[in-house]
Amino acid sequence: GENVEQHPSTLSVQEGDSAVIKCTYSDSASNYFPWYKQELGKRPQLIIDIRSNVGEKKDQRIAVTLNKTAKHFSLHITETQPEDSAVYFCAATLNSGYSTLTFGKGTMLLVSP
């Protein structure tokens, strides 16, 4: 089955800096890579996703890049703000319509004012 490794486990930045979280996956057939954000005491929520036919996707201050050859994908947050502080989970799946997500272990991002 799929295995997803996520790094770093914690990341501390100053407000306004950029943050990068990296994930690697094991199954070269995986084709869908979502990112979920979990604020303290809250439920995880989808913030961005990317499909394997795309190398990069942006949504305002967040972007995700995918390198299929190396089997890794990354979340980039620019101009970080205190409200970006949360745990971020990457996930991967072979989206055949009958598959499930495999999540990474999460990255706790702390943005200091």
Binding site for another protein (CB under 8 A): 1, 6, 9, 32, 34, 36, 42-46, 49, 51, 89, 95-98, 100-106
Query: Shortest distance, CB of residue 6 to another protein, whole angstroms?
Result: 8
Distance, in Å, from the CA atom of 81 to the CA atom of 66, rounded to the nearest integer, reads 24
Inter-CA distances, 82 with 10, 89, 105, Å: 15, 18, 22
Least distance from another protein to the Cβ atom of residue 104, Å: 6
- Reduced to 3 states (helix: H, G, I; strand: E, B; else coil), residue 89 is strand
Nearer residue to another protein within complex by CB, 9 or 18: 9
- Name which of 18 and 54 has its Cβ closer to another protein: 54
Is 14 or 96 the residue whose CB approaches another protein more closely? Answer: 96
Minimum Å gap between C-beta 50 and another protein is 10
Burial 67-101 (b: 16+ CB within 10 A, else e): eeeeebbbbbbeebeeebbbbbbbbbbbbeeeeeb
Nearer to another protein, 2 or 78 (CB): 2
Minimum distance, C-beta of residue 79 to another protein, in the bound complex (Å): 25
Residues 6+ apart with CB under 8 A from 67: 55, 73
